[in-house]
Amino acid sequence: MAEQNKVILHGMWASPFVKRVEMALKLKGISYEYVEEDLANKSDSLLKYNPVYKKVPVLVHNEKAIVESLVILEYIDETWKDGPKLMPNDPYKRAQARFWCKFIEEKVLENVLLVVKTDGEAQQKAISELYEKLSLLEDGMKNYFEGQNPSADKINSGVLDFVFISLFGTYKAQEEVVGVKFIEAEKFPMLFSWLMAVVEISVVKEASLPNDRTVGLLQFIRNKALTSTEV
């Protein structure tokens, strides 16, 4: 029986995609072994288990590899049925969750990275585009949460919460490095309430990144990007 429950997670400490998987495993109460990967010198195991994308996270369950964080999250939910559900039971709610997860991952993340990696006019353009996408997300979450601001004592944590917090859980470090407050209470009240609720979830706290290390990493990414664009 123990062998049937053998779970290994290959990750990298700062990856938001890995963090969301960690949160899901902890919420479900799944015991797992964690393997830290050096993405500059990828291990043979990582290349073996994810030969297509060669990146983290990779979840290995009984020697079977599952890759891509959103796929992994749904696999966890479907495989370990005990414990809290990661996806809504209602088909429409489930479809909404999938849609907004994809939106955050493909659209919002893109602009957050642009804000971090740019300066001057390019950064202002990226900030403007980010606010446009956050406005869409704000309206979407008003519908998803049925107009009720989420609170720490009422929220049912799941895939959508983990995708959202994996991007904005480091908001203090993001603000310190780029000097921009992405989710302001006045501008995005629903998103702000959601953010404040999710950061209080115990598994989110356990998986949170140290602020000083996050600041250092973001500064490195920003400086490298700005230096590479200099003539």
Contact 203, 26 (CB under 8 A): yes
- The set of long-range contacts for 60-66, using a CB threshold of 8 Å and a minimum separation of 24, is 60/7, 60/8, 60/9, 60/10, 61/6, 61/7, 62/3, 62/4, 62/6, 63/6
The pLDDT value recorded for residue 149 is 83
DSSP letter for 104, please: I
The pLDDT value recorded for residue 164 is 97
- Residue 48 is part of a domain; what is its CATH number? 3.40.30.10
Same domain flag for 75 and 140: no
Distance CA 77, CA 87 (A): 7
The pLDDT value recorded for residue 4 is 62
Quick one: pLDDT band at residue 147, thresholds 50, 70, 90? confident
pLDDT (mean) for 25-39: 96
DSSP letter for 16, please: H
Tell me the per-residue pLDDT of 154-209, one tens digit each, with 9 for 90 and over. 677 899 999 999 999 999 999 999 999 999 999 999 999 999 999 999 999 999 99
* 67 assigned to some structural domain: yes
Quick one: pLDDT band at residue 231, thresholds 50, 70, 90? very low
Give this prediction's pTM. 0.93
Contact 108, 129 (CB under 8 A): no
Looking at residue 192, its amino acid is F
What residue numbers bound the domain in which 127 lies?
Answer: 91-229
Using a pLDDT cut of 70, give the percent of the chain over it: 96
DSSP 64-76: EEEESHHHHHHHH
The 3-state DSSP class for residue 156 equals coil
Final residue belonging to a domain, choices 79, 109, 132: 79
227 exposure class (CB count in 10 Å sphere: 0-12, 13-18, 19+): exposed
pLDDT (mean) for 147-156: 77
Final residue belonging to a domain, choices 29, 50, 79: 79
Please count the structural domains in the chain. 2
Quick one: pLDDT band at residue 230, thresholds 50, 70, 90? low
Residue that the structure tokens 């902890």 belong to: 26
pLDDT (mean) for 57-69: 97
Distance CA 174, CA 179 (A): 8
Tell me the per-residue pLDDT of 94-137, one tens digit each, with 9 for 90 and over. 999 999 999 999 999 999 999 999 999 999 999 999 999 999 99
Check whether 228 has a pLDDT greater than 90.
Answer: no
